[in-house]
Amino acid sequence: MKKTILIIIILIPSIVIAFLLISLYAIFTNYPTRQVNRIFQKNILWQINTNRNKSQISDNNDVWINEKHNILLTLCAQSICAYKIPSGKLLYEYKFTEKYRFHISTEINDDIYIFRSDKEIVAINIHNGRDIWRKNYKDEGLISTSQIFNSDYGSIGKNDVLVVYRSEPGSSPYIPIFDGFNIYTGEHLWSFKPRTYAFAGIHAKVFGDKLIIGNDYGNLSIYSIMTGLLEQSINISSDDVYPIEQHGQYLILRKGINALKGIVVYDSISNAILWSNTVKKNDLVVKSVCVHDFNRVVLLFGGVFMKSEIQILDLVSGTLEKKISLPTEAELVHCNDGYVYAESVTLWPEQDKGAVYIINPKAGTFQQVVFDAKILPYSTNYSYGALYIPSQDSRLYKYEIGKGSMWTLFGLLHPYQLQYPLSTTVSHAMGKPLIYRGIIYVKGADGYIYAVRNNPQLRIIP
């Protein structure tokens, strides 16, 4: 018995000393970083240079995955490149000479890929890159810099209708002409100029078989994308209105162009405004809006003393249910699966760090996950219970929701996260990392696309 006690007395200090020595060694030799780099390199499937040292400017995200046929399309130098995934094999390269304007995914028919240049609209076969149809279509007048289709140049609705807009010589830069095309044949279906006057521009969005247009006089116009005919015109408010999201039968609109002054909820079945709210001048500024999956509208306020506030409102009645204060400025990135997610690009006063917030709207609580680097703005993505966060120090973080925290090899408490060290920062043109069938696709600012296994073993934290 005495020998056992003596052994324990000797063994415990020895274990503690060994633990401290290992921790010190890890700190001064940066072992975890080297270990992550080794594991990361083993899990890279491929990396492809898409720009070949040439620059090509895109007006929206330039990487898109066709899940039906396992094809990744991206913008290369003066061309569109198609790769088979996960192998990374180049299928074809579609050359063009005019400036590339936008691309859209067709949920109705994933065999067609449509993009717009400065002078025409082109539909190609996604399998071989051959032309299906092309139409002369260009802006001959001025187009306002205000966002008409949320920075895109077209949208596809139900019944295979492509909706695009243009301007004509001598026309107002704030009143575009809308056109409808059949996505299979390129047949021109209709054309109209909105029956409204706007001083600062109009804002449009396609929801199903409707084209919703709002202007800066608070007027909302609803058109059929099958006929191009006006079906309904409603005066919403004295402020400009902008359709931002549809949730079932409910249409959510924002009030205000430069600053979000409030929101309006419209019932498309009863053709009635359910409720409208206006932010008072002495309140925080509404920065972003999303609709939660249990019929709640989530507003994020910010702009005062570097803090933010989350407000949860009932979608149908507009009743304020909860207020949640966040310690830093933030932006909403996802609103689903029982939680609300927001990102803070940089913390204050620790400006070299960023954070994400995991908010429980029912409980009115949140969890802050801090990263040792600034977050790339508007680039956090959510997929199957995990957040993927590109940082400004050339790393991609992953945080698994519900895992909480864990003890690392060295006994230090860290969030359950992993890092993918890249050779360059993530490209703003990429938008967000794409996660598909266990593989992460991310585009670097140097033009390389990385395909990395989403390996659960990568859990070591530098």
DSSP string, 176-240: PEEEEEETTT--EEEEE--S---SS--EEEEETTEEEEE-TTSEEEEEETTT--EEEEEE--SS-
In degrees, rounded to 5, the angle at the alpha carbon of residue 349 between the alpha carbons of residues 346 and 350 is: 55
- Classified as helix, coil or strand, 30 is coil
Tell which residue, 418, 406, 414, has the closest CA to residue 457.
418
Q: Between β-strands 241-247 and 250-255, what pairing exists: parallel, antiparallel or unpaired?
A: antiparallel
Q: Which contiguous run of DSSP H or E holds residue 343? A: strand 339-344
Residue 414, CB half-sphere, CA atoms under 13 Å: how many? 19
Please, are residues 379 and 426 in contact by the beta-carbon 8 Å criterion? yes
DSSP character for 345? Answer: S
pTM of the model: 0.74
Give the pLDDT of residue 274.
Answer: 87
Backbone angles phi, psi at 130, to 5 degrees: -85, 150
Give the pLDDT of residue 369.
Answer: 83
**Residue 115: strand pairing partners:** 103, 122
Q: Six-digit token pair at 93?
A: 């390269």
DSSP character for 438? Answer: T
Please, are residues 177 and 191 in contact by the beta-carbon 8 Å criterion? yes
**Residue 188: strand pairing partners:** 181
CA distance 380 to 283: 27
In degrees, rounded to 5, the angle at the alpha carbon of residue 294 between the alpha carbons of residues 288 and 299 is: 20
CA distance 183 to 163: 10
Please, are residues 164 and 116 in contact by the beta-carbon 8 Å criterion? yes
Taking each helix axis from N to C terminus, what angle separates 31-43 and 2-29, rounded to the nearest 10 degrees?
Answer: 70
| Alpha-carbon 330 to chain mean position | 15
Number of H helices, E strands in the chain: 2, 38
Tens-level pLDDT at each residue, the chain (462 residues): 666 666 666 666 666 666 565 555 444 444 344 444 454 556 677 888 776 544 444 444 567 888 888 998 887 877 888 999 989 999 999 887 766 666 665 555 578 888 877 788 888 998 999 999 999 887 655 554 444 555 456 677 777 888 888 877 666 655 778 899 998 899 999 998 886 655 556 778 888 788 888 776 677 888 998 999 998 888 776 667 777 777 888 888 877 766 667 788 888 788 788 888 877 655 556 677 877 767 788 877 765 556 788 888 888 888 888 888 888 888 888 887 778 888 887 666 667 788 888 888 888 888 888 877 777 777 788 887 788 887 776 677 777 776 543 222 222 223 334 444 454 445 444 557 888 888 888 777 667 788 877 765 444 333
- Classified as helix, coil or strand, 36 is helix
Find the distance separating the first CA and the last CA of the chain, reported in whole Å: 43
| Cis, peptide link before residue 349, omega less than 30° from 0 | yes
